[in-house]
Chains A and B, each alone.
Chain A
């Protein structure tokens, strides 16, 4: 069991190193930032001065070493566009994105699992059909359209909720939160629904298909043949067996919420990391793209590692080291 944990931890570090390599390659090989930063009216002296100050004239190995040392210390370079450290830019905006992601994740998980179980147990019937067809429309509607639709209904027509921004925020040291003011909470509602809806649909469909599979297993038939109540069969035997595989995928989905926030943040002008990232893609601001990539991979890898540990706690077959 311990060797399994160590193995998973090592794998996580390997993934991070791989992402680091991608990030470094982006610095080293992608385009010429100088061309992006200076306008059409540039002189050779301008170019040379900029190259020198960005360290682009150093030999490959020196740049690589600088990158590694810097990355470990949290320094992944200076934004080409804004001239400030990329990580600083990101950390400044991280609380907005994380609060949005957290609220959406809870919304998606709770509703997704409940609806998934409901539609698996009641395979036919008007409510199930309604949930399933709505979910298909949900999957086919791009997130940004859902956002625009919600803004149109609740902000423009009904004027109940704000259409953009975070509302008032309260500073708690380096963390600025919107959860403590009424306007902050109101501002959070539409973006979190927009962001969580797609993930909720996916989790619901996953839970439904996994649970339908479990309900076909011999041990469920045997449990029924022993006269156990439907309640015990569905909620004690089936749900627990369903949630084991669901945890992994759901963990991945939650991780991807942070990335999907890019779209929601654009629609709602939410001052988070996603908006920053989109800017950096448009202007090929490599240091910001790279630090965003690294930050997000640290989170993904962390979530994955936690999910694996959770798995270990639930599934007795893994605890004996048989399934590893």
Chain B
């Protein structure tokens, strides 16, 4: 008998446009000592399944049909007060963001002891001892001291360990982990996944691991269930589903995942039941405005040369110099980018990779160092006009498609704005034609110009962002985590688009990402950053096959492996 059985679950959210069915007739089971991966893209309903099992649906959501059985006992019809003895005691949950999962004004001890005393009939002394043991088991050093501390005194990874200790505190039979490592860096992610795997095996726990990340599934799950738009598409052993998927949707989803072990030329054009509605047009650029002018003659050799670049931010101002606090976001970084190549910058959060982009584009001024672009000085030391002229050739695609477009402007004005500001066109008709062409080029169609950003999905917005960046006819395009906010199938389409544009327009790319498999697919050469320093620069394949520096070796060994 399975530990947890979900039979024909249906979850509905009544709303303005009628009832939205978030989970449609899903049946699943989990055994003791088993990790079931629940995978899907945004809107698949995977988190809703977890919340529905624990009766934690956000209002107005409701379990409209179906049954939930725990160890042979039906639990979906229990009253709220009876259900409370199941939550935490028999089924626990781990949330995505460890920074917000803990009450900020109580000690770790208070929160652990409170949970233990709620469910177990033990003395306060015993509960305190148990709490210390728990912290020890989840790998927190010096638990007797640290238990007296408050959440803000722990790092992100340590906090997630505390969250896991809280979830384990009364020895539940089942844990539902909802994207438990999505907010964490890759090295921390590997440790937390290892901890969950260990606990599952040593305590014979059932685990439902909800995630969007195929790499995480491949590394951790025994079995995997694939969801799409509320429906369960396919269930099976992880190896079978990932290597030989039976269903069309699963096939296309897996085809879109960037493999970690080899470089592929293009992501296959997949027959998804539903893409972002855009397809790359066959577009003839010959004689077109975008390709016109001498700027597109491929300059061989170095296009950008960065020497000893540093950026220091003031984080706390004070009257006296000695009381001011600074942080060095980039420390003496040097690299060069050759014309026509894609240069990658990879690193974890806080490594300074995005700051490099913002200093290169002039959003933040450099503290010291040199930046030479096509022979022109970008720092402004040899004249502001020289820097400004060079910057016209540099454009950027941002990370967050929802905040990178001004919601109060129509798409047409957004894409036309660079041309208006820089007086690139002589009249409105010419500008409108170019906007239409640009929108065709990125696969949206010219009608998009009359709409507002909120009418588009994340992937489509990223295409608009690319169209805007191309409007100044740049030679150098900086992509700062351009796909990290997107689903994997949309990511594949955007990455393909970037590769196509690069070939057709002869662009040079600086591609910034924390995602190693994506970097491997996109880049010719890669720089690895940590704490503001550039640790290593090498050909992409060399970085992955024979990393020289210890940090790079650690990164590459701990990235979730998803091989094809």
Indicate yes or no for A touching B, C-beta below 8 A.
Answer: yes
Question: Any chain B CB within 8 A of the CB of A189?
Answer: no
Residues of A within 8 A of B93 (CB): 222, 225
Contact indicator B166/A244 (Cβ below 8 Å): no
Query: In the bound complex, what is the Cα–Cα distance between A226 and B167 (angstroms)?
Result: 7
Of B84, B102, B103, chain A has the most CB atoms within 10 Å of the CB of B103
Q: Taking CB as reference atom, which chain B residue is nearest A222?
A: B101
**Which partner residue on chain A sits nearest B149 by CB separation?**
A316
B85 neighbours in A (Cβ, 8 Å): 227
Quick check: is A317 within 8 A (CB to CB) of the other chain?
yes
CB interface residues, A 224-262, toward B, < 8 Å: 224-229, 232, 236-237, 240-241, 244
Q: Are B167 and A219 in contact (CB under 8 A)?
A: no
CB pair B118 A314 closer than 8 Å: no
By beta carbon, the residue of chain A nearest B84 is A227
B62 CB within 8 Å of chain A? no
Cβ of A218 within 8 Å of any chain B Cβ, yes or no, is yes
Given A225-B93, A320-B153: A217 in contact with B100 (beta carbons within 8 A): yes
A223 in the interface, Cβ–Cβ < 8 Å? yes
Q: Mark B88-129, 1 if CB is under 8 A from A, else 0.
A: 110011010100111111110000001100110000000000
A227 to B105, CA, bound (A): 20
A120 smallest CB distance to B (angstroms): 15
How far in angstroms is the closest Cβ of chain B from A87? 35
A218 to chain B, nearest CB (A): 4
Cβ-neighbour of B166 out of A226, A232, A236, A237 (below 8 A): A226
Instruction: Find chain A residues with CB under 8 A from B84 CB.
Output: 227-229
The answer to whether A279 has its CB under 8 Å from any CB of chain B is no
A322 part of interface (Cβ distance < 8 Å): yes
Instruction: State whether A219 and B101 are in contact (beta carbons under 8 Å apart), knowing that A225-B56, A225-B92, A226-B166 are contacts in the complex.
Output: yes
Question: Quick one: closest A residue to B91, CB to CB?
Answer: A225
Q: Which of A219, A314, A315 contacts B103 (CB 8 A)?
A: A219
Contact B105–A221 (Cβ < 8 Å): no
User: Please, which residues of chain B bring their CB within 8 A of the CB of A317?
Assistant: 104-105, 150, 152
Please give me the residue from chain A that is nearest to B163 by CB atom: A222
Given A237-B103, A322-B152: A226 and B118 interface contact (C-beta under 8 Å): yes
B350 to chain A, nearest CB (A): 17
CA–CA, A225 and B103, complex, Å: 14
Task: Judge whether B54 is part of the interface by a CB distance below 8 angstroms.
Answer: yes
On chain A, which size bracket covers the interface?
20 to 34
Q: Which B residues are CB-close (under 8 A) to A237? A: 103, 106
Kindly supply a per-residue 1/0 record for chain A positions 296-318, scoring 1 wherever the CB is within 8 Å of any chain B CB and 0 otherwise.
00000000000000000011110
B87 close to A (CB within 8 Å): yes
Q: State whether the Cβ of B390 lies closer than 8 Å to any Cβ in chain A.
A: no
Q: A227-B85, A228-B118, A322-B152 are in contact. Are A222 and B104 (CB under 8 A)?
A: no
Most central of A218, A244, A317 by chain B CB within 10 Å:
A218
Q: Is the interface of B mostly helix, strand, loop or mixed?
A: loop
User: At the interface, yes or no: B86 with Cβ under 8 Å from chain A?
Assistant: yes
Contact residues in B for A232 (Cβ distance below 8 Å): 114, 118
Inside 8 A of A223's CB, which chain B residues have their CB? Answer: 103
Q: Which residue of A lies closest to B119 (CB)?
A: A227
Residues of B within 8 A of A221 (CB): 56, 95
A244 to B103, CA, bound (A): 13
Given contacts A223-B103, A241-B105, A218 and B97 within 8 Å (CB-CB): yes
Q: Smallest CB-CB separation from B103: which chain A residue?
A: A219
**B contact residues, range:** 20 to 34
Contacts of B169 in A (CB 8 A): 226
Contact of B87 among A226, A316, A320 (CB under 8 A): A226
Closest to A314 in B: B105
**Assembled-state Cα–Cα distance A226/B153 (Å):** 22
As a 0/1 sequence over residues 457 to 474 of chain B, the CB contacts with chain A under 8 angstroms (1 = contact) are: 000000000000000000
Contact status B103-A316, CB under 8 Å = no
**Residue numbers in A under 8 Å from B105 (CB-CB):** 240-241, 244, 314-317
- A221 to B57, alpha carbons, bound, how many Å? 10
B87 proximity list for chain A (CB < 8 A): 224-227
The distance in angstroms between the C-alpha atoms of A320 and B84, with both chains bound, is: 36
Q: Which residue of B lies closest to A315 (CB)?
A: B105
Q: Report the bound CA distance from A226 to B87 in whole Å.
A: 5
B543 to chain A, nearest CB (A): 36
Nearest chain B CB to A10's CB is how many angstroms away? Answer: 11
In the assembled complex, the Cα of A228 lies from the Cα of B81 at a distance in Å of: 10
A219 / chain B contacts, CB cutoff of 8 Å: 100-104
CA distance A237 to B119 in the complex (A): 17
Q: Which residue of A lies closest to B178 (CB)?
A: A225
Contact with A along B143-155 (1 / 0, CB 8 A): 0000000101100
> Quick check: B103 and A226 within 8 Å, CB to CB?
no
A320→B151 CA distance, assembly (Å):
12
Nearest-CB residue, chain B, relative to A223: B103
**B4 shortest CB reach to chain A, Å:** 15
Contact with B along A199-234 (1 / 0, CB 8 A): 000000000000000000111011111111100100
B118 touches A229 (CB 8 A): yes
Residue of A nearest to B166 (CB): A226
Distance A225 CA – B86 CA, assembled complex (angstroms): 9
CA distance A236 to B118 in the complex (A): 13
Interface string of A26-54 (1 = CB under 8 A from B): 00000000000000000000000000000
A241 close to B118 (CB less than 8 A): no
Of all chain A residues, the one with the shortest Cβ separation from B96 is A218
CA distance A223 to B95 in the complex (A): 11
In the complex, what residue of chain B is closest to A219 when comparing beta carbons?
Answer: B103
Which residues of A are found within 8 Å of B88, using beta-carbon distances?
225-228
Once bound together, how far apart are the Cα atoms of A222 and B167, in whole Å? Answer: 9
Give the distance in Å from the alpha carbon of A315 to the alpha carbon of B114 in the complex: 20
In the complex, the answer to whether B152 meets A241 with C-beta atoms within 8 Å is no
- Which of A221, A227, A229, A240 has most B Cβ within 10 Å? A227
Decide if B102 touches A227 in the complex (CB within 8 Å).
no
On whether the beta carbons of B54 and A225 are closer than 8 Å, the reply is: yes
User: Nearest Cβ distance between residue A224 and chain B, in whole angstroms?
Assistant: 6
CA of A241 to CA of B106 in the docked complex: distance in angstroms?
10
Chain B residues within 8 Å of A225, by CB: 54, 56, 87-88, 92-93, 95
Tell which of A224, A225, A244 has the most Cβ of chain B within 10 Å: A225
Q: Let me know if B152 and A218 touch, CB within 8 A.
A: no
Q: Select from chain B the residue with minimum beta-carbon distance to A238.
A: B103
For B119, what are the chain A residues with a Cβ–Cβ distance below 8 Å?
227
The smallest C-beta distance from B37 to any residue of chain A, in angstroms, reads 20
- Chain A residues contacting B167 (CB-CB under 8 Å) are 226
Which residues from B are CB-within-8-Å of A218?
A: 95, 97, 100-101
CB–CB B118/A222 < 8 A: no
Q: In the complex, which of the residues B86, B118, B152 contacts A316, with contact meaning CB atoms closer than 8 Å?
A: B152
**In the complex, A222 Cα to B106 Cα: how many Å?**
14
The A-contacting residues of B in range 29-79, CB under 8 angstroms, are: 54, 56
Question: In the assembled complex, which residues on chain B have CB atoms less than 8 Å from the CB atom of A314?
Answer: 105
Q: Once the chains are docked, how many angstroms separate the CA of A240 from the CA of B107?
A: 13
Q: What are 14 A-B interface contacts by the 8 Å CB criterion?
A: A219-B100, A222-B95, A226-B115, A226-B118, A227-B86, A227-B89, A228-B114, A228-B118, A236-B114, A241-B103, A241-B105, A316-B105, A317-B104, A320-B152
Contacts A219-B101, A237-B106, A240-B105 known; list 16 others, CB within 8 Å. A218-B97, A222-B101, A222-B166, A224-B87, A225-B54, A226-B118, A226-B169, A227-B84, A227-B88, A229-B118, A236-B114, A241-B103, A314-B105, A315-B105, A316-B104, A316-B152
Interface residues of B (CB under 8 A from A): 54, 56, 84-89, 92-93, 95, 97, 100-107, 114-115, 118-119, 150, 152-153, 163, 166-167, 169
For the complex of A and B, list the 4 residue pairs with the smallest distance between their C-beta atoms, beginning with the closest: A227-B88, A226-B88, A227-B87, A218-B100
